Structure 1
């Protein structure tokens, strides 16, 4: 149903894990085997061993993200470019490539124009988060050795998201080997700093806009196939195609006072820190109103008939009539609360530099993740009203609105859904949303249809290793993801 984020303890990095959603998790005696459920048998001549070797080598290239641009080592990005050129010669013979913002890349595979369709864009990012210092020895195999063992490829980026990068190149190279010529332009955008804000993707989107390029659809990470038990529906497999991303805003609440020595506080006058503490309590006591975004409502409507819990099944099969009942249940859990409202999280506070000094200035930082119904402006108004103290300064930073919600009645959504069903005929396709952020939101100005779907089961199976220890992907899942992209490109551009 999307992703939730948590800090890793490494400055500038986040841990992104699959959000299991607010529906109670269930367990069945035998979990559905996604390998047996897969019905697709095409592309038997696809070179699986070569792809495994290629991902292994790509993982070895340390394209590590850093929020401080001055500390980014750009040399590995050049090494990766050289490796891609050597490994995928047809892609580099048939595609135009532009390097943007030092290390981000945009490929264009020219179509023959016969269909008259607008171009499509596939996405991935080159960068990976660092290994948390002190945890290197916890890895079964070194994080940047790209070890192939136990039926898996191990290492940082195996599921976030060098697997997708590798699969996209494999799919394009395979189709070119077969003489395939797309009937529309196909673009591939590879950001270099998605883990730290996505300035590269932003520059790519601006470049495309300046060129007058309008896209039919974008496909990036965000949703994925998963076992239904992760969503409280143990008898089915579920594919979530995310339609939007929540917004983001940090607000600094700042109070001032005279300060002085802590041995002589002024009677009856609260310190700056006390003023901020009062503001914190007011904000926490006044959460923003609930609402169920249409993307999440569609998720529950799709999954409703398959839910294990009778109450949830009855409610979700009668939406939107019982929307208020669903919201009342969801807001009781952390993931559910994040689904139905803009969340409020007090994360940091600063006062004086020493325990015996009354602060002249105190600050608290509150993080908000915006649902589509709220805006930065309405959020600021809500916080001001909740605090009720004009002496408290409110300063927003790192603010972005929630993304637009992509439609489910577009040919592009139908294309992704149809391709999923070619691989898994019985899989429930459920629209959803993303609690965190991806590079794809940068392309809203040139594309109305942005879908966040990564065709790898292991994104959910090994989600706890993403940005953590022992990140890996099974060889079976890796290869199947490449075959999915081959089929998607065939259907989209022929």
Structure 2
């Protein structure tokens, strides 16, 4: 063993702490505005502030919500409610006539929409803007809890209510409004612009985005797109006096695990000490009482976000800021940062794999012992982890309960414990996706994208805040259609520009889903300016 004097360790830590104080952990970046905006900003002013355009936008988004393009788990091309999608397509054609006259439209796998606005320079890689047409169902048992009918698209003067208002018809309509406005003003792109709208994102995208991406791959080849923008990210907000936006440059993985327990039946008058349902309840308790460990390395964009907060805001104390900066090499500081993240709902599941027991079935009669109980657990996998690691943890939980109650255990048709007279567990993972690779946040594509976000933030959303805004790369806890496009570009950004958190405030996938008309108009303005800035400044 080599002896290292204590003073040398202390001295090294002191040197590193001094370096951390002078390091630019989170470059603010440039605000990108199209050159014509700097000469005349009347077009963006019209989009954001004109009352007639506001009313028109309400009608368009409200009308889109009134088309219940719902998809259900297990839907196929034959069982999906195609009539509603066809009606929605007709609605879009009526609302955006210039877009449908100017852009070519291809129907991919019946209901997928791919619009192509051909640029004048075919040597330039296309820019892809994405969203999805489908929405999640509304539970009949909760329909009465909605303030307004979930498919009414009701506008109360500030908010537009209904399924899809937040996720994500606001993006479909916002992108099409931006394109319609550009065409109306005579804009002609040098770079091809693509708009792609799948129809089954809420159930995995295998019929919609998967087919569209294959079509694009055949046309443009591997890495054939300039960049891609889809839903995701976290709402922008003023944090410690500084406007912060959090587009996602990566997304967590996913695995759905199904666990079944088969046991002998019988009459309820002579029950075992623990019925099938009781044993599964103990398993659920064990799973929830043993959460996945916290994990965050320096490559996790959530760590970059915390560095941006520490460097550019007053949110943290000076002492905690130093802990954030030191956490890449100081285990004690890293533990404190992770413990902090665990107390903030928006951050908690950016630094650990989540687990949610979403479905349970069991029992058929009150005086008949249950013979089969099943549970379905949804996991969103930390970018530092994997599907195998996630499944392994759950199998260990099941193994513990199986041993306690002398039960067998199958995993993927392999017997880890032989079935007994008491019964057996079966564990499968029918749906899985590894975490996405992290998109670069230091190249031209990011510079123009982030700079365009800063433009709308500084000029329209937070015009009275003198501090420059910060666009901090982050990750999204949900999954998107972008998983089908990984081979087409490394520059994948997941961001629905908004000041309203889609899940925590906009109630995405829940009762009373809504968005504000002002956020929708900011989104239109962003798409309008982003398309122009990519066309003007991008060289790749």
TM-score range, shorter chain: 0.7 to 0.9
Find the partner of 2:67 among 61, 66, 86.
61
Report SS of the residue matched to 2:473.
strand
1:197 maps to 204
Report how far residue 164 of structure 1 moved.
Answer: 1.5
Deviates further, 277-286 or 102-111:
277-286
Contact 1:226 1:460 in 2 (8 A): no
Deviation at 1:385, TM superposition (A): 4.2
Q: Which residue of 1 aligns with 2:252?
A: 246
Residue 102 of structure 1 is matched in structure 2 by 110
Of 229, 235, 242, 2:241 maps to: 235
CA separation of 1:468 and 1:371: change in aligned 2, threshold 3 A: closer
Match of 2:296 among 292, 298, 303: 292
Residue 187 of structure 2 is matched in structure 1 by 180
Q: Match for residue 21 of structure 1?
A: none
Which one of the candidate residues 303, 307, 326 is aligned to 1:301? 307
Q: Give CA-to-partner distance per residue, 1:229-281, whole Å, 9 cap, x none.
A: xxxx34222211112221222223344455545556789xx876676566556
Q: How far off its partner does 1:203 sit?
A: 1.9
CA contact (8 A) 1:462 1:471 kept: no
Q: Does residue 124 of structure 1 match 2:131?
A: yes
C-alpha distance in 2, partners of 1:52/1:63? 19
Superposed displacement of residue 437, structure 1: 1.6
- Equivalent in the alignment of 1:396: 429
- Shift of the alpha carbon at 1:492? 0.9
Query: Deviation string for 1:187-225 (max 9, x for gaps)?
Result: 111122223332312221222223344222111111254
Alignment of 1:39-118 (within 5 A): 41-43=41-43, 44-46=45-47, 48=53, 49-69=55-75, 72-113=80-121, 116-118=123-125
Contact 1:236/1:427 (CA < 8 Å) preserved in 2?
yes
Kept in 2, the 8 Å contact 1:283–1:383? The answer is yes
Equivalent pair of 1:159/1:459 in contact (CA under 8 Å)? no
Aligned to 2:532: 490
Q: Does the aligned pair in 2 maintain the 1:225–1:237 contact within 8 Å? A: no
Contact 1:290/1:340, CA 8 A, preserved across alignment: yes
Whole-Å separation in 2 of the counterparts to 1:253 and 1:130:
25
Which deviates more, 209-218 or 237-246?
Answer: 209-218
Distance, in Å, in 2 between the alignment partners of 1:338 and 1:78 is 38
Is 1:456 equivalent to 2:498 in the alignment?
A: yes
Partner of 1:19: none
Partner SS, residue 249 of structure 1: strand
Match of 1:371 in 2: 382
**Alignment root-mean-square deviation, CA:** 3.2
Kept in 2, the 8 Å contact 1:244–1:405? The answer is: yes
Task: Check the 8 A contact 1:259/1:271 in 2, yes or no.
Answer: no
1:381 Cα deviation (Å)? 3.1
**Which residues of 2 match residues 75-474 of structure 1 at below 5 A?**
75-113=83-121, 116-133=123-140, 139=146, 141-199=148-206, 200-213=208-221, 214-228=224-238, 233-261=239-267, 276=280, 279-280=283-284, 283-284=287-288, 286-292=290-296, 294-305=300-311, 306-310=313-317, 312-321=320-329, 322-331=333-342, 336-350=347-361, 352-354=363-365, 357=368, 360-386=371-397, 387=399, 390-391=416-417, 392-425=425-458, 426-460=468-502, 463-474=505-516
Would the aligned equivalents of 2:310 and 2:316 in 1 still touch at CA under 8 Å?
A: no
Q: Which moved more, 1:41-50 or 1:293-302?
A: 41-50
Over residues 443-492 of structure 1, what are the superposed CA-to-partner deviations in whole Å (9 max), with x where a residue is unaligned? 11222121111123245598344344554443333222211111100011
**1:13 matched to which residue of 2?**
none
Give ranges in structure 1 of 5+ residues lacking alignment.
Answer: 1-38
Deviations 1:111-145 (A, max 9, x none): 1126x332121012222334443655655554434
Cα distance, 1:257–1:196 mapped onto 2, change above 3 Å: closer
Structure 2, unpaired ranges of 5+: 1-37, 404-415, 418-424, 459-467
- Which residue does 1:3 correspond to in 2? none
Task: Identify if the C-alpha distance between structure 1 residues 446 and 136 changes in structure 2 by more than 3 Å, giving closer, same or farther.
Answer: same
Question: Secondary structure of 2:349's partner?
Answer: helix
**TM-score, normalised with respect to structure 1:** 0.80
* Structure 1 CA distance for aligned equivalents of residues 68 and 285 of structure 2: 44
Contact 1:104 1:204 in 2 (8 A): yes
Deviating more after overlay: 427-436 vs 328-337? 328-337
User: What secondary structure is seen at the aligned counterpart in 1 of 2:487?
Assistant: helix
Q: Distance in 1 between matches of 2:368 and 2:124?
A: 67
Over alpha carbons, which structure has the higher Rg?
2
Judge conservation of contact 1:97–1:105 (CA < 8 Å) in 2.
Answer: yes
Structure 2 length as normaliser, TM-score?
Answer: 0.74
Give a deviation string over 1:95-122, Cα, whole Å, max 9, x none.
22111232121111111126x3321210
User: 2:111 and 2:259 mapped to 1: Cα distance?
Assistant: 37
Cα displacement (A) at 1:353: 3.8
